[in-house]
Structure formats: C-alpha cells, structure tokens
C-alpha cells in the first residue's frame, strides 16, 4: 500500500535551515491568538500604508509563495522538478476592484498561460474569477439582476477576459483551470466556464472548472455536466477540492435565512468528495480529473481506484495537487511512486498576496489536526537527519 510516511522523500528538497523555518512557522500559526493578532496588525499596517514586507517576506511569504514574478518562481519550479513534482504558477491577486488592476491582472495572467505552455515543468495555467469582476458584479449576473449600463459593461469585461484566457490556452495547447470561490456567484461562473468547455474542449479537456465538494449540490452538478458533455460531444476538465469558504457560506445562509449549501458535517464532505472523484475516474473517457487535496485518504483512494482499473500512474488525465508549503509528504511520495503531481504555487507582490497568506494561516489554525501533522512530520525528519549525522 502507498505510504506517505517517508519524510526523507517528503523533505529532501528542503535544507536543514528550511526545515527549522517551517517548524517555527507552523508552531506560530498553530496558535489562534497569534494568527488573529497578526491578521489585525497586518490589515492595520496596510490601511496606514506602513511597510509589511519586512515581516512577511522572510516568513509566511517565503514558505507559501514562489516569488513576485514568473521569473522569480523559476528556482522553485526547477527545485521541485528535480524530485518529479511539477508546478502551477497562480498569479494570486484577489478581489477585482478597479479597471486598471483588473486589466493588469489579465495581462499578467495571459503571460502566465503562455509561460506555462512553453515550460516543460508547468502542466496547467490557472485564474480566479474575482480577478476580473467584483463579487457584486458576479452576484448580480448570477441572479440575473443587471441594474445599469455599468454592470453590463463589467459583466462583458469578465466574459471577454475568460474568453481571452481560454482561447490563449487552447491555441497554446495548455490546460487552464478556473478556481471556485463563493457559491452565490458560482452560477454565472459555471455558465461562462461551461460555454468555454463547449468551445475549447472538443478534442480533450483544455478548460477545467472547479467543484467544491463541501457543497450539497455538486455531485448532481457533475452528473448533469457529464450528460451535457456527452450530448454536446465535448470533454470535461474537473478540478476537485473540498472548499475553502465554509464558515462564510454558513454565516451568509443563516443571516439571509436560506438552507446552507454546505454538507452538514466533515464526514459528508469527505464522502461526497471521494464519490465525485470515483464517478469521474469511472468516466475517464469523458472527464479529466484534477485532485486538489491534502487529505491522505482521498489521495490514497484515487491511487487504489487507478490500480483496480489498470490505469497507468502517469495517465495524463489524472493529476494530484497540493498547495506549495503544505503536505509535502503527500506530493513527494506520490511523485516518487510515479503519479502526476503538481504544486499550486501562488506568486505576486507581497501586498497583493496577503489575503491568500492570511487564508493559509487561518486554515492551518482552524484545521488543528493538519498543522499537528505538518509539525510531527517536520520533527520526524529533523530527528532522522540528526541520527544520520551520528
């Protein structure tokens, strides 16, 4: 059976100094009080236009981010590839606000698509819907409530941006993934992304949508998407994740008095996630699968299903992925066993990437088990290296 226990393989790309820094970092972010205080201080500093880079860059940023530019990420991309792990470079500027920022983000994301296509170690490009429209605009489009000309223009900018990115991906033969964010504006994102699949996935999956399996409706959505793809004769690309915005989703549903779109408990999310992946692998002739998870059981189940069905480990329609800076024991052990593995590496200026970093810190605080697991593995590797020196 596949083991994720081998810390020598998991951390062989890390120096002793990298290991110590990672241990210190996870110890700090395991402390909810410290994370809460750090978050308030960071937002205060940003609001007052005080410098924050000096504190963030050598710590959180260095651990979770590839660099400020595509070029700066190259060292990390090469290092990971030495150990058979690929990279996805994600220009992580969040929350489309003003037109200039959105246009700049579009230009940079287009560059990242072409860069990925030329780079042998970068198998996908990626972007976030809210990089090209505000949440309000996407929500209005999802509710079919378009009050004025300005909103119409903003919706058109979003459609044009997604079209440009998918067309560039298609012309350069590089798959592109669209992240998922909040459920209340996902209907419009799904509509646009499905349109892109119909257009660009005629021969294979180039455009990938994201399914957040903590949502109660996503398994039905997947089955329906397959039916439409069969009828329309195109391929589906599906990135599976559990979902990162659970608290926010439940809070909004409670405040507005509609049923929560989220599974009632962790077990139901886990079951739904594994069911979605299993269903897709059973329909691999039509669905390409991207498994974005740090869950050991889900990763293992996928390898077992592949084995059972006689699917080669390096099958190009199945990829495993973890975020850079997290769950190296899964990524590097899978890659060592011959599976397709890629790390999701955000890049961008320190200030712009702060929301991402704060989410990572909070996520690792709230998932106490996961942080504990990271710390235990780092400690195990430290002790292993120490005993070898004797």
Q: 87 or 295, CB closer to ligand FAD?
A: 295
Check residue 141 for interaction with ligand FAD (CB under 6 A): no
Instruction: Give ∠ CA 63-34-44 in degrees, rounded to 5.
Output: 85
Q: Quick one: tokens of 194?
A: 């499905």
Shortest CB 385 distance to ligand FAD, Å: 27
Euclidean distance between CA atoms 59 and 22, whole angstroms: 9
3-state secondary structure 97-117: CCHHHHHHHHHHHHHHHHHHH
* Residue range at the interface with ligand FAD (CB under 6 A); choices 154-162, 244-252, 329-337, 372-380: 244-252
Q: Does 241 bind ligand FAD (CB under 6 A)?
A: yes
Q: Nearest distance from residue 377's CB to ligand FAD, in Å?
A: 15
Binding of ligand FAD at residue 374 (CB under 6 A)?
Answer: no
Give how many residues touch ligand FAD by CB under 6 A: 26
Count H helices and E strands in the chain, helices first. 17, 8
367 is a contact residue toward ligand FAD (CB under 6 A): yes
Q: Among 371, 300, 365, 359, which Cα is nearest to 330's?
A: 300
- Distance in Å, CB of 183 to ligand FAD, minimum: 10
Indicate the residue among 309 and 367 with the shorter CB distance to ligand FAD.
Answer: 367
Cβ proximity to ligand FAD, 52 vs 158, nearer residue: 158
Stretch 320-359: interaction string toward ligand FAD, x if CB under 6 A: -xxx--------------------x---------------
Annotate each residue in 261-300 with x if it binds ligand FAD (CB under 6 A) or - if it does not, as one string.
Answer: -xx-xx--x----------------------xxxx-----
Q: Which of 188, 174, 154 is nearest to 112 (CA)?
A: 174
Beta bridge partners of 288: 237
The answer to whether residue 183 forms part of the interface with ligand FAD (CB under 6 A) is no
- In angstroms, give the least distance from the CB of 108 to ligand FAD: 18
Please identify, using beta-carbon distances, which residue of 52 and 261 lies nearer to ligand FAD.
261
Instruction: Give the shortest CB-186-to-ligand FAD separation in angstroms.
Output: 10
Applying the rule CB under 6 A, the residues between 200 and 219 that interact with ligand FAD are 210, 212, 214
Residue 282 to residues 21, 106, 193, 233, Cα–Cα distance (Å): 42, 36, 23, 18
> Distances in Å between the alpha carbon of 175 and those of 21, 30, 191?
34, 36, 19
For residues 248, 101, 189 and 326, what is the CA-based torsion angle, rounded to 10 degrees? -60
Q: For the purposes of burial, counting CB atoms within 10 Å of the CB of 291, is it exposed (0-12), middle (13-18) or buried (19 or more)?
A: buried
Cβ at position 226, least distance to ligand FAD in Å: 20
Quote the DSSP letter at residue 267: H
Residues of the shown chain interacting with ligand FAD in the complex, contacts defined by CB under 6 A = 179-180, 210, 212, 214, 241-246, 262-263, 265-266, 269, 292-295, 321-323, 344, 367, 370
């Amino acid at each position: 059976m596949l083991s994720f226990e081998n810390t020598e393989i998991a951390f062989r790309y890390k120096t002793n100094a990298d290991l110590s820094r990672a241990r210190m970092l996870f110890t700090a972010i395991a402390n909810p009080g410290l994370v809460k205080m750090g978050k308030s201080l960071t937002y205060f500093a940003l609001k007052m236009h005080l410098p924050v880079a000096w504190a963030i860059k050598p710590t959180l940023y260095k651990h979770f981010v590839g660099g400020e530019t595509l070029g700066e990420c190259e060292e990390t991309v090469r290092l990971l590839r030495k150990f058979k792990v690929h990279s996805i470079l994600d220009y992580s500027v969040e929350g489309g606000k003003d037109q200039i920022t959105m246009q700049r983000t579009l230009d940079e994301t287009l560059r990242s698509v072409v860069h990925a296509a030329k780079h042998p170690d970068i198998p996908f490009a990626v972007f976030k819907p809210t990089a090209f429209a505000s949440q309000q605009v996407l929500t209005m489009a999802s509710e079919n409530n378009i009050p004025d000309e300005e909103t119409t223009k903003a919706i058109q900018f979003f459609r044009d941006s997604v079209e440009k990115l998918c067309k560039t991906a298609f012309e350069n033969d590089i798959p592109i993934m669209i992240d998922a964010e909040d459920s209340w504006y996902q209907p419009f994102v799904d509509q646009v992304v499905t349109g892109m699949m119909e257009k660009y996935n005629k021969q294979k999956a180039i455009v990938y949508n994201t399914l957040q399996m903590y949502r109660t409706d996503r398994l039905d959505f997947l089955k329906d998407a397959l039916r439409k793809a069969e009828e329309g004769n195109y391929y589906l690309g599906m990135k599976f994740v559990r979902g990162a915005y659970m608290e926010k989703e439940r809070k909004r549903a409670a405040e507005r008095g509609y049923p929560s779109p989220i599974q009632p408990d962790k077990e139901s999310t886990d079951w739904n996630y594994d069911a979605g992946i299993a269903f897709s692998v059973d329909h691999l002739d039509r669905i390409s699968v991207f498994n974005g998870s740090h869950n050991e059981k889900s990763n293992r189940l996928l390898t077992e299903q592949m084995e059972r069905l006689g699917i080669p480990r390096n099958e190009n329609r199945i990829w495993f992925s973890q975020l850079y800076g997290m769950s190296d024991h899964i990524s590097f052990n899978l890659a060592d066993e011959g599976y397709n593995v890629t790390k999701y590496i955000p890049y961008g200026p320190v200030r712009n990437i702060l929301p991402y970093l704060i989410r990572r810190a909070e996520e690792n605080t709230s998932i106490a088990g996961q942080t504990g697991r990271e710390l235990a593995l780092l400690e195990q590797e430290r002790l292993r290296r120490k005993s070898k020196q004797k």
